[in-house]
């Protein structure tokens, strides 16, 4: 008679939580209930299963005796002689491999019965534990359960396979040796979801502007990453980013397909890094919050490096006029991106936990309210904008004349070959505006705004350019903001917003701070010029300005922002903090006419209007010139590639929003929240690993 061992010490810690069972067939065809490893019990998940070879003393079906002892003859059951013990050891195998098999059988039995002493006692006495759907345990006789799986396992079974869902956090917690390879169909589904998510994010951006597809795209991207390891998450994130950025940044093709491809390749790396980190936070509760914080951190990094950053195509800029737009008044563009990603991640949470529950780290409860909660929260996020405070009208207005002179060329040679053609076009359109005012067709402006590069000749050095501009400004009779590229010394230049008074001529100015790499200056000049002949088209190297763009013009102080700068939070905010109103964006989109760049830039102006409680007036060489109200509505706009002009009446507001006052604090807080969550996830993983090693 074999002595039962019911007081074995726990291996890797006891777990009292009921475990759902999954049917498994034994070697004799009997159906047994084998409990999958608890995702939170990494020690149990990492113990080997069914590694022992076959034994001649395999218990018969329904037998409750002859369970092999863990120890050698020194721990033999009472009544067993030395010769009996020797015979038993010979049968089991006296080699280290045989002894390891014996221990493995015991570990497998313990794992099947549960890690608590009571469970192991039941296993040793031939009583299994079957868990109902509700998680309650009920005894099942060994004759129903069949022989232990370890007894039927062949010696060459190899390392065990995890019973956790492929790619789930529970599977990863079991250690690198235990998870089975993810099925090909699951991997294919991840690839399709990542790519489809990238397409949906692109559809949210102008010119289509289907803003609701942005959170839906995030849903698919997050679902594709959920349950993956960092390496797989990285390349899935890179795939989603490439699919998103290739069409979104297609306007770069004007410069060259090689530049377009390189830009997409570099920018996609940021998404890959974010995805790799996100694979860690999926193991934490409330992971949609941490995922959204990581997204903000990624967009912050994109706007910082390399060579001054490239903040284009941030998710906030797809929400120029949407249910999420008003978040800009509370936390700027970063909070808008955070809200969009949070909504999408909440939908992904519902998807992976209730639609695809096999990939959830823990079984989801069946309550209908729990299933609907993430979806309800996702819908509630944009509804919170109703509580965002926004300053109202202050009762002041100003009439602003907007001139769009057009240019003859296209692409990289948009300014054409005719000398002074851009200057002549804009001067002529300014005089046409003056004639319309005299005829009573338009109200008299208080100031006029011309686009960036509205003169292609330096008016400081060229008498003809100076006389032409002066004549048009005198015709309209009010201060005019001229866009000029002016020489500085013999080798440098500045992109300048120049106030031209009808009486005193050129006066105060603002020099562009955020310059376009390879467009206004050449990074790593010697190397780049040696490799790419096109880089020589930059000519003189632009130098950045050092002060904000507050310029006094007539009855107001405008906030000058030049083209590319509208994408940079700090530059626009610094100008608004001077008290300037309205914001004036001078831009030259001639090389990118009819691409998706002009409408994307207009959407940025919409976000800035709401963010800072300012009207935004945009003057473009070829379009889109526009007027955006302080609540983000496009009140007037031009078509592209036409000469046009108008006088618009815009409100003058000087009260600051919360976003203007707090500046970058929301962005830093959200980004740090996401990064800190990664740190917590890594720390917990190492802590669990240490416990597994000790067990």
The answer to whether residue 177 is domain-embedded is no
Can you read off the two tokens belonging to residue 191? 């690839």
Smallest CA-to-CA distance from 650 within 614, 606, 608, 692 is with: 614
Q: What is the CATH number of the domain that holds 580?
A: 3.60.110.10
**Could you tell me the two tokens for 219?**
């849903």
**Residue 310 and residue 312: Cα distance in Å, rounded?**
6
Strands of 577-664, DSSP E: 583-587, 616-620, 626-628, 634-637, 644-651
Q: Which of 267, 299, 431, 452 is catalytic?
A: 452
For residues 573 and 639, state if they share a domain.
yes
CA distance 540 to 64: 91
State the DSSP string of 360-415: SSSPPP--HHHHHHHHHHHHHHHHGGGG-------S-EEEEEEEE---S--GGGTT
Determine the straight-line distance between the first and last CA of the chain, rounded to whole angstroms.
31
Residues 383 and 405 in one domain: no
Question: What residues form DSSP beta bridges with 31?
Answer: 25
Judge if 324 and 267 occupy the same domain: yes
pLDDT reported for residue 85: 44
Please classify residue 439 by burial: count the beta carbons closer than 10 Å to its beta carbon, then call 0-12 exposed, 13-18 middle and 19+ buried.
Answer: exposed
Question: Do 152 and 199 have their domain in common?
Answer: no
CA distance 75 to 94: 15
Backbone angles phi, psi at 556, to 5 degrees: -135, 170
C-alpha neighbours within 13 Å on the C-beta side of residue 685? 21
Residue pair 13/687 in contact (Cβ under 8 Å)? The answer is no
Do residue 28 and residue 55 come from a single domain? yes
In a domain, 178, yes or no: no
- Rounded Cα distance between 550 and 650, Å, is 17
What would the pLDDT profile of 6-26 be if each residue is shown by its tens digit?
Answer: 333 333 333 334 444 444 343
Residue 72 backbone phi and psi in degrees, to 5: -80, -160
SS3 string, 485-553, reads EEEECCCEEEEEEEEEECCCEEEEEEECCCCCECCCECCCHHHHHHHCHHHHHHCCEECCCCCCCEEEE
Which of 429, 563, 640, 667 is catalytic? The answer is 563
Is residue 619, in this structure, part of any structural domain at all? yes
Total count of residues recorded for the chain:
695
Q: Is 334 found in the same domain as 295?
A: yes
Write the secondary structure of 104-140 as one string of H (helix), E (strand) and C (coil): HHHHHHHHHHCCCHHHHHHHHCCEEEEECCCCCEEEE
Contact of 414 with 591, CB cutoff 8 Å: yes
Q: How far is CA 240 from CA 280, 342, 345, in A?
A: 18, 18, 15
Separation CA 511–CA 607 (nearest Å)? 23
The CA distance from 251 to 207, in Å, is 12
Domain-terminating residue out of 135, 164, 193:
164
- The token pair that represents 546 in the structure block: 């050092």
pLDDT value at residue 64: 38
Is 512 marked active-site? yes
Contact criterion met (CB below 8 Å) for 234 and 276:
yes
Q: Residue holding tokens 């695809």?
A: 356
Other residues' Cβ atoms within 10 Å of the Cβ of residue 39 = 21
Structural domain contains residue 531: no
Residues 341 and 228 in one domain: yes
pLDDT at 73: 38
Residues 158 and 188 grouped into a single domain: no
Helix 463-476 / helix 421-438 crossing angle, nearest 10 deg: 20
Token duo for residue 30: 């009997």
Tell me how far the alpha carbon of residue 175 is from its chain's centroid. Answer: 28
Tell me: do 202 and 78 sit in the same domain: no
Cα–Cα distance measured from residue 110 to residue 632, given in angstroms and rounded to the nearest whole number: 64
With CA atoms as reference, report the closest residue to 206 among 662, 640, 668, 653.
Answer: 640
pLDDT tens digits for range 593-642: 999 999 999 999 999 999 999 999 999 999 999 999 999 999 999 999 99
Active site residue 161: no
Name the token pair of 622: 């070829």
Q: Tell me: do 652 and 670 sit in the same domain.
A: no
Place of tokens 């963010």: 611
Domain membership flag for residue 430: yes
Stated as kind and residue range, the H or E segment containing 25 is strand 22-25
Q: What does the angle CA 147 – CA 151 – CA 157 come to, to the nearest 5 degrees?
A: 130
359 is in which domain, residue-wise? 184-389+666-694
Whether 658 contacts 329, CB under 8 Å: yes
Q: How many CA atoms lie within 13 Å of 582's alpha carbon, on the beta-carbon side? A: 32
Counting the structural domains of the chain, the total is 3
> pLDDT for 243-283, tens place per residue?
999 999 999 998 889 989 999 999 999 999 999 999 999 99
| pLDDT at residue 624 in the model | 97
Backbone angles phi, psi at 328, to 5 degrees: -60, -30
Tell me whether residue 171 is in a domain. Answer: no
Contacts of 302 (CB under 8 A, 6+ apart): 267, 270, 309, 310, 311, 314
Tell me the CB-side half-sphere exposure of residue 132, using CA atoms within 13 A: 5
Find the angle CA(225)-CA(226)-CA(232) to the nearest 5 degrees. 40
- Residue 7 counted as domain residue: no
Tell me: do 236 and 142 sit in the same domain: no
Nearest-CA neighbor of 220 among 380, 377, 345, 372? 345
**Stretches in the chain below the pLDDT threshold 70:** 1-180, 357-368, 409, 411-418, 690-695
The H or E element that residue 141 is part of is strand 137-141
Between the CA atoms of 392, 398, 404 and 405, what dihedral angle is there, to the nearest 10 degrees?
-170
Together in a domain, 43 and 123: yes
Catalytic residue among 512, 520, 565, 667: 512
Task: Indicate the Cα dihedral angle 56, 62, 65, 67, nearest 10°.
Answer: 50
Q: What is the DSSP letter of 387?
A: G
Please state whether the peptide bond connecting residue 624 to the residue before it is cis, i.e. omega within 30 degrees of 0. yes
Quote the pLDDT of residue 689.
Answer: 72
Per-residue three-class SS string for 471-488: HHHHHHCCCEEEEEEEEE
Distance between CA atoms of residues 142 and 119, nearest Å: 14
Indicate whether 13 belongs to any domain. Answer: no
């Amino acid at each position: 008679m074999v002595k039962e061992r019911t007081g074995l010490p726990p291996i890797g810690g006891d777990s009292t939580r009921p475990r759902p069972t999954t049917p498994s067939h034994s070697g004799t065809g009997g159906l047994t209930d084998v409990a999958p490893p608890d995702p939170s019990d990494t020690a149990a998940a990492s113990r080997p299963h069914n590694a022992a070879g076959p034994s001649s003393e395999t218990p018969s079906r329904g037998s409750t005796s002859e369970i092999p002892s863990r120890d050698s003859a020194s721990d033999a059951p009472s009544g067993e002689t030395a010769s009996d013990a020797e015979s038993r050891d010979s049968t089991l195998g006296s080699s280290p491999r045989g002894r390891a098999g014996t221990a493995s059988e015991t570990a497998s039995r313990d794992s099947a019965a549960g890690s608590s002493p009571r469970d192991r006692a039941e296993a040793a006495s031939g009583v299994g534990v079957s868990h109902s759907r509700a998680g309650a345990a009920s005894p099942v006789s060994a004759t129903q359960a069949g022989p232990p799986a370890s007894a039927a396992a062949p010696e060459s079974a190899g390392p065990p396979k995890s019973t956790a869902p492929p790619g789930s956090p529970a599977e990863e917690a079991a250690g690198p040796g235990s998870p089975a390879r993810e099925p090909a169909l699951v991997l294919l589904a991840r690839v399709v979801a990542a790519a489809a998510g990238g397409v949906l994010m692109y559809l949210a951006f102008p010119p289509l502007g289907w803003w609701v597809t942005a959170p839906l795209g995030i849903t698919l991207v997050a679902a594709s990453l959920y349950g993956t390891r960092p390496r797989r998450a990285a390349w899935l994130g890179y795939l989603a980013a490439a699919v998103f950025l290739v069409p979104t940044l297609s306007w770069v093709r004007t410069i060259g397909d090689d530049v377009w491809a390189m830009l997409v390749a570099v920018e996609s790396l940021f998404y890959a890094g974010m995805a790799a980190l996100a694979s860690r936070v999926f193991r934490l509760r409330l992971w949609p919050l941490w995922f959204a914080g990581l997204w903000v951190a990624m967009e912050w990094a994109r706007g910082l490096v390399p060579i001054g950053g490239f903040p284009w195509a941030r998710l906030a800029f797809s929400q120029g006029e949407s249910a999420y737009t008003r978040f800009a008044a509370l936390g700027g563009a970063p909070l808008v991106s955070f809200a969009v990603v949070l909504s999408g991640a909440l939908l992904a949470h519902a998807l992976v936990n209730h639609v695809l529950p096999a990939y959830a780290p823990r079984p989801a409860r069946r309550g209908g309210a729990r299933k609907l909660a993430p979806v309800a929260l996702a819908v509630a996020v944009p509804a919170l904008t109703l509580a965002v405070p926004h300053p109202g009208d202050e009762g002041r207005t100003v009439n602003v004349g907007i001139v769009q002179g057009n240019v003859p060329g296209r692409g990289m040679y948009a300014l054409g070959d005719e000398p002074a053609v851009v200057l002549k076009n804009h001067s002529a359109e300014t005089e046409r505006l003056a004639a319309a005012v005299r005829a009573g067709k338009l109200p008299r402006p208080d100031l006029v705004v011309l686009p960036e590069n509205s003169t292609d000749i330096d008016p400081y050095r060229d008498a003809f350019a100076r006389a032409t501009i002066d004549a048009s400004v005198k015709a309209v009779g009010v201060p005019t903001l001229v866009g000029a590229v002016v020489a500085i010394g013999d080798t440098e230049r500045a992109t300048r917003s120049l106030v031209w008074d009808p009486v005193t001529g050129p006066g105060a100015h603002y020099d562009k701070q955020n310059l376009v790499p390879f467009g206004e200056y050449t990074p790593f000049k010697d190397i780049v010029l040696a490799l790419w002949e096109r880089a020589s088209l930059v000519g003189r190297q632009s130098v950045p300005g050092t002060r904000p763009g507050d310029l006094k013009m007539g009855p107001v102080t405008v906030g000058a922002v030049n083209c590319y700068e509208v994408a940079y939070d700090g530059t626009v905010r610094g100008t608004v903090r001077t008290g300037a109103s309205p914001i004036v964006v001078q831009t030259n989109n001639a090389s990118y006419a009819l691409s998706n760049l002009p409408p994307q830039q207009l959407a940025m102006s919409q976000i800035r209007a709401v963010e800072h409680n300012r009207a935004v007036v945009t003057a473009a060489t070829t379009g889109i010139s526009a007027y955006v109200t302080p609540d983000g509505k496009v009140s007037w706009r031009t078509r592209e590639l036409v000469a046009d002009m108008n006088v618009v009446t815009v409100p003058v507001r000087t009260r600051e929003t919360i976003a203007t006052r707090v500046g970058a604090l929301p962005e830093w807080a959200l980004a740090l929240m996401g990064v800190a969550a990664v740190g917590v996830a890594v720390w917990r993983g190492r802590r669990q690993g240490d416990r597994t090693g000790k067990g």
